[in-house]
Amino acid sequence: MTTISMPQLGETIIEGTILKWLKREGETIERDEPLFEISTDKVDTEVPSPVTGTVSKILVEEGQTVPVGTDLAEISDDGAAGGGGGQATGAAPVGGPTPATEEASSGTAAGVEPPSEAAPAASTASASAESASAVAEGSAAEMPAVEPATPQGAEATATSATAPAPAPSGGSGDLPDRGPRSRILSPLVRRLADEHGLDLSRIEGSGAGGRITKQDVQAAIDSGGAAAAVAAAPAPAEVPAPAPATAPATSPTVAAVQPAVAGPGDEVVPISHIRKLIGQHMLSSLETSARAWTMVEVNIDHLVKLRERAKDAFKAKHGVNLTYLPFVIRATCDALLTHPEVNSELRGDEMVRHRYVNMGIAVSYDAGLIVPVIKGADAMNTVGLARAITDLAGRARAHQLKPDEIQGSTFTITNPGPYGSVASLPIINQPNTGILSLDAIQKRAVVIDDTIAIRSMVNISMSWDHRTIDGEIATRFLARVKQNLETWDFAEDVAI
């Protein structure tokens, strides 16, 4: 007797619907002959029988949706073939060693080298970013306004580091079901819960292995769980503040969490959700990485002249402003592909080197800071980059970025230059190895061939993680960026 169970068609596919039984009870079936058809949220397939025999029992009716691994049918061996009993799955062994990758928690399947593999979902941050209501007051800066640090991904790292691997089916039976699996949430569930202020830890999951489904969340919303959750949440700003700031520290640990007290002339402003998240990301990045910093000076004179000549025609032809950022991204992408160590991330004891560049660009907006990602930036020309920057920065400020658009960066650039900084020390956008800062372009007196000349100069610096690279690589990398910017002829790029 062989038991047929719902096959696993991929790590992230956890359930399937029986569309049709192709054999009825009592009918004989050959090995590899289709037995039933299933439909999952990703693909449909017919599933062949692993053995020759007679369908002795059908356990799940057509139209039913059941988790992967559920017994579906029994096939008796007809006494013909040897071997006898045992558990077989339709096409894929279910209890097999499922790699404990972080993709499970982000809903991303392991691809060959998809960017989404690089950084798991930061959907909490994104959902919040989208849900924030006000629109930016519109800074007039030509380039995306930026701040010298970036949050996305830090949370993702924390999530993936702490999220337990899905338990192999049949394993560790004494663990309550809603343990590991319940931490795996689809983006939809996350967003729904965020929108309604639900505490997901209070919701009982009815999906496979205690996973919380959309229906569970909907039920919680319908039953007023959202209101309850919100009401239950403490509102620090409204808590009366009995202890003045100078109160003797009878309990030192309490001091840190005491509510703020407004003195005369002070204003107490509650911290937004996004502000808190950014703070957590920054702190966790500093705690995680061994940050070091290197700066080079770049003579950008010819580029400044080119841009002055080309910018009006460029705007007329392509409809977007020509800023310096696309040039810097191009020069950086080349250096990243030359020094893949800088375009890498640490995962446990291994270093993942990316052979493509997904460039995160730090954009400040009314709610704080967000890092949209230009996918495949290494393949883009200047026009494409200019368009992508304008599009992503614009939608960031309008709260219209989609979750995938702020995930998967392999490197990040921040651009505080328009505000006048000449050197910045950014915090690394986890799990990247480096973040490059483009500071203000200024005319300076420089020595060229033993004469003093006036040139447009810019400081380009990088915070880098000493866990993955050393100063030599960091400096070679920056020297390459410098060399590219100083020697490449971008005239053809801007097509004038």
Partner 1 sequence: MTRQAELIRPEGPVPYGPANEAMHRLAERRLAGEIPDTVILLEHPPVFTAGRRARPDELLWSPDELAARGAEVHRIDRGGAFTFHGPGQLVGYPILDLGATPDAAAHLRRMEEVVIRTASEFGVSAHRREDVQTGVWHGDDKVCAIGVRLMRARVTLHGFALNCDPDLSWFDGIVACGLPGHGVTSLSRLAGRPITVPEVAPVLERHLARVFDLSFSEAPFLAQAAAPV
Distance CA 136, CA 26 (A): 68
Q: Which of 190/480 has CB closer to partner 1?
A: 190
Distance CA 259, CA 243 (A): 8
Among 61, 85, 112, 173, binds partner 1 (CB under 8 A): 112
Q: Which 378-397 positions form the footprint of partner 1 (CB under 8 A)?
A: 379-381, 383-385, 387-388, 391-392, 395
Torsion sign, CA atoms 416, 421, 422, 424:
negative
Q: Which of 40/284 has CB closer to partner 1?
A: 40
Q: Do residues 340 and 391 lie in contact, with contact meaning Cβ atoms separated by under 8 Å?
A: no
Q: Which of 8, 288, 280, 325 is nearest to 143 (CA)?
A: 325
Residue 69 engages partner 1 in binding (rule: CB under 8 A): no
Q: Which 425-464 positions form the footprint of partner 1 (CB under 8 A)?
A: none
Among 4, 6, 21, 40, binds partner 1 (CB under 8 A): 40
Residue 227 engages partner 1 in binding (rule: CB under 8 A): no
Among 25, 44, 78, 312, binds partner 1 (CB under 8 A): 44
Distance CA 467, CA 474 (A): 12
Q: Which 309-338 positions form the footprint of partner 1 (CB under 8 A)?
A: 318-319
Residues touching partner 1: how many (CB under 8 A)?
Answer: 62
- Beta carbon of residue 388, minimum distance to partner 1 (angstroms, whole number): 4
Angle at 424 between CA 427 and CA 391, to 5 degrees: 75
DSSP letter for each residue of 179-210 = TTGGG---HHHHHHHHHTT--GGGSPP-SGGG
- The terminus-to-terminus CA distance of the chain in angstroms comes to 75
Task: Determine which one of 32, 196, 470, 493 is catalytic.
Answer: 470
Task: Determine which one of 334, 466, 489, 493 is catalytic.
Answer: 466
Among 25, 28, 30, 43, binds partner 1 (CB under 8 A): 43
Q: Which of 390/424 has CB closer to partner 1?
A: 390
What is the CB neighbour count within 10 angstroms for residue 196?
16
CB-based burial of residue 148 (10 Å sphere; 0-12 exposed, 13-18 middle, 19+ buried)? buried
Residue 236 engages partner 1 in binding (rule: CB under 8 A): no
Q: Do residues 49 and 32 lie in contact, with contact meaning Cβ atoms separated by under 8 Å?
A: yes
In angstroms, what CA-CA distances link 117 with 361, 375, 388, 439, 472? 19, 13, 21, 31, 28
Residue 224 engages partner 1 in binding (rule: CB under 8 A): no
Among 374, 396, 469, 478, binds partner 1 (CB under 8 A): 374
To the query of whether residue 466 is one of the catalytic residues in this protein, the response is yes
Q: Which 280-309 positions form the footprint of partner 1 (CB under 8 A)?
A: none
Q: Which of 89/414 has CB closer to partner 1?
A: 89
Torsion sign, CA atoms 450, 451, 452, 458:
negative
Selected range binding partner 1 among 64-72, 153-161, 375-383, 412-420, rule: CB under 8 A: 375-383
Distance CA 270, CA 248 (A): 25
Q: Which of 314, 312, 432 is nearest to 371 (CA)?
A: 432
In angstroms, what CA-CA distances link 32 with 51, 95, 347, 411? 7, 21, 40, 47
Q: Which of 114/259 has CB closer to partner 1?
A: 114
Q: Which 136-195 positions form the footprint of partner 1 (CB under 8 A)?
A: 187-188, 191
- Beta carbon of residue 402, minimum distance to partner 1 (angstroms, whole number): 6
To the query of whether residue 78 is one of the catalytic residues in this protein, the response is no
Q: Which 6-25 positions form the footprint of partner 1 (CB under 8 A)?
A: 7-13, 19
Residues classed as catalytic? 466, 470
Residues that bind partner 1 (CB under 8 A): 7-13, 19, 32, 34, 39-40, 42-48, 90-93, 96, 107-116, 121, 123, 187-188, 191, 318-319, 356, 374-377, 379-381, 383-385, 387-388, 391-392, 395, 400, 402-405
